[in-house]
Amino acid sequence: MRVYLPATIAMLRDLEANGEFRARSGTGFALTPALREAYVSGSDEELEYAALLDAARASIRLIAAEEKAEPRRVVVSADVENVTLRSDLDAPVVRLDGPVPLSQIAAIHVDAPEATEAVAAAADVIDAADLGDEDAEFALGDAEDHELAWYAPQELPFFLELL
């Protein structure tokens, strides 16, 4: 199953150093049966993209929690076998049973440098957005308007070197 794992730049550095990715609390997002049921229509590709966007929003939460985090959303796409569906948490949520080796990572999605200001602002107000603050929701939307760039796993060392 293709899973989308929220991450930070620091977590990418750990991936490069250790050769495996450890999802925070083992949480990921995927095209689950519950996600498919939540949408009236949509191709698999569109629903996978929705799961990726949920992971990108979770990345903002990780940035908010990480002191001195680089304000760029990161999502690691991986193909893993053993996941537990967690629709009790939200339709696309899955739980991994352990770390994901680099060999199972399909792609890494990262914000371009132009998004850092919007992502930093969103990280500052993400909790308020969850509580319905309209200004905070607007700031979150500004960050989510930026598309994530795509990198192959073998490009990770070069990407990190250029930061």
Instruction: Report the distance separating Cα 67 and Cα 52, nearest Å.
Output: 24
pLDDT of residue 67: 85
What pTM does this model have? 0.95
- pLDDT at residue 89, rounded to an integer: 84
Q: Where are the domains of the chain?
A: 2-157
Mean residue pLDDT across the chain:
95
Task: List pLDDT tens digits, range 29-54.
Answer: 999 989 988 887 889 999 999 999 99
% of the chain surpassing 90 pLDDT: 87
pLDDT at 93: 96
Residue 87: the pLDDT is 75
Report helix angle 44-65 to 134-144, nearest 10.
Answer: 120
**Mean pLDDT, residues 134-146:** 97
